[in-house]
Structure 1
Amino acid sequence: MLPWKRVLRPLSALCLTVTVALVPAVTTAQAADTAAASDRGWNDYSCNPSAAHPRPVVLVHGTFGNSVDNWLGLAPYLKDRGYCVFSLDYGQLPGVRFFHGLGPVDKSAEQLKSFVDKVLTATGAAETDLVGHSQGGMMPRYYVKFLGGAAKVKALVGIAPSSHGTDLGGLTNLLPYFPGAEDLLTTATPALADQIVGSALLARLNEGGDTVPGVSYTVLATRHDEVVTPYRSQFLSGSDVRNILLQDLCPVDLAEHVSIGLFDRIAFHEVANALDPAHATPTTCASAVG
């Protein structure tokens, strides 16, 4: 591959991620809030968890995402299977509408803490399960590790999570060659800076181990991820961890970073398995239509 293509390919991937996120956000601009999610069947605070699914599920969107558009596929999928499902907006920046997950990760984790407490109070449940996409699969680990979340979270499922950061196919290695670029990134979009390989946030998060006792972790990754790269950096190490590559379940699954969270039903099936392992069923290519 030509050198300039090595630079442009990950940059194009990032632009693609933002563009794909932009389209549904614009089409649902009037509804990108908690009320809209409730209208679609989730964020129903009168929902009573069943004996079969006693823990409410909190969905945590990714960078540039929001509580509605990120979950138009997975939230109904889980609701149809009897779960109480909730989603939140976090990481908002002043003057930026609809595109969230941009603020400092540690502050976003505090927002998640408050939201989980709200959900547990409303539902009467003692614990919740968390499912997050991209940053939404990494940030909850900060809540679990540092903000008391381990006592309130049973399962954490990360869909293409930025567990150990990303180099965007090597693009971040170019930042030192552009004076002021790193400072601008930190100031304008702190969450992006926090997700770069080697960031202070990630060093603290992963120091002493990726996991904490009492929480079960599942990571769903795709070989075709063009944003959190290399894709194996998404995987976690620990005693209660399942790292899953979608192509090991269905070799022809072409999901990349965005689609794995938005509408890949093979990933959705594995999410359901992670939330209810006692009744898990094998995931195959046929799960795409299940």
Structure 2
Amino acid sequence: MLLKKPLSVVALVVLALATTVASGPVPSVPSVPKKRALFGGYNDPKCKPSSSKPNPIILLHGLLGNYREFSYMGPRFASLGYCVYSRDYGQIPGIPFLGGLNDLMDSAKELSKFVDDVLLATGATKVDIVGHSEGSTLPRVYLKYYNGVAKVDHFAAIGSNQYGTSLANIVTLLEAANLFGAVKGELSDLCKACFQLTVGAPFLDKLAEGGDTYPEVKYLMLVSK
């Protein structure tokens, strides 16, 4: 599939580079010992939550990312005594390493199973979710369509994307050049989620119907310049 659409591959690579640069590095937390934070404790299938930290943390990467996006943050949570997990979601067959590409409904189904697996393994009753970029939109899909409200206690987001994104201003530039339709045609099979996440996308309008939040879930949305 990739070889048949070389322009699509180039566009996807450009998008990956742009969104990676826009994301930036995760700042250091000096209070946590660095060596312990970087090695061990992350994605530990034998981890059991403590009474003071009863909810496992699930970390969700952004568009074109994968679970390695949290190779620094994940172990730091673990070093503080949390059971913390992450996995790839939304991959398209034939496209290695880049996650978050598939339809958000399919990705939410993956998330639903992952949450159930984590709850079963840890014996916990609810999880806390921390999502970055697309990972801040995906939990809303899970909450609304897959009974996630009953299984999520806290939902925090970094670089929160709730009302659409310009994909690091790429969409804005393409629209100004009257090229958005052509690029969408090239990429629609390779990045289904891309066009569910952009500003004005019908998917986001439907997701917002009935309200953005649920009273059973505690929310924290973090953004910066």
Give the TM-score band, short-chain normalised: 0.7 to 0.9
Change (3 A) 1:45 1:179: closer
More helix as a share of residues: 1
Q: Distance in 2 between matches of 1:80 and 1:156?
A: 20
Q: Secondary structure at the match of 2:205?
A: helix
The yes-or-no answer on 1:42 pairing with 2:42 is yes
For 1:116-135, list aligned pairs within 5 A.
Answer: 116-135=115-134
What is the aligned residue count?
A: 195
CA contact (8 A) 1:120 1:127 kept: yes
For 1:184-223, list aligned pairs within 5 A.
Answer: 184-223=186-225
Change (3 A) 1:172 1:110: farther
Change (3 A) 1:219 1:20: closer
Identity level (%): 39
Q: CA RMSD in A?
A: 2.3
Amino acid at match of 1:60: L
Q: Which has the higher contact order (CA 8 A, sep 6+)?
A: 2
Q: Distance in 2 between matches of 1:81 and 1:100?
A: 28
Amino acid at match of 1:50: S
Q: Secondary structure at the match of 2:85?
A: strand
Instruction: Give the corresponding residue for 2:148.
Output: 149
Following TM superposition, by how much is the alpha carbon of 1:146 offset from its aligned partner in structure 2, in angstroms? Answer: 1.4
Change (3 A) 1:14 1:174: farther
Following TM superposition, by how much is the alpha carbon of 1:156 offset from its aligned partner in structure 2, in angstroms? Answer: 0.5
Instruction: Give the corresponding residue for 1:82.
Output: 81
Q: Secondary structure at the match of 1:190?
A: coil
Instruction: Give the corresponding residue for 2:173.
Output: 171
The yes-or-no answer on 1:91 pairing with 2:90 is yes
Amino acid at match of 1:57: I
CA contact (8 A) 2:158 2:223 kept: yes
CA contact (8 A) 2:89 2:107 kept: yes
- Provide structure 1 residue ranges, at least 5 long, that are not aligned to the other structure: 1-11, 22-38, 224-290
- Provide structure 2 residue ranges, at least 5 long, that are not aligned to the other structure: 1-13, 24-38
User: CA offsets per residue over residues 80-124 of structure 1, 9 Å max, x none?
Assistant: 110000111100111111111111111101100000000000001
TM-score (norm: length of structure 1): 0.62
Amino acid at match of 1:214: E
The yes-or-no answer on 1:70 pairing with 2:72 is no
Q: Distance in 2 between matches of 1:175 and 1:41?
A: 48
Following TM superposition, by how much is the alpha carbon of 1:208 offset from its aligned partner in structure 2, in angstroms? Answer: 2.1
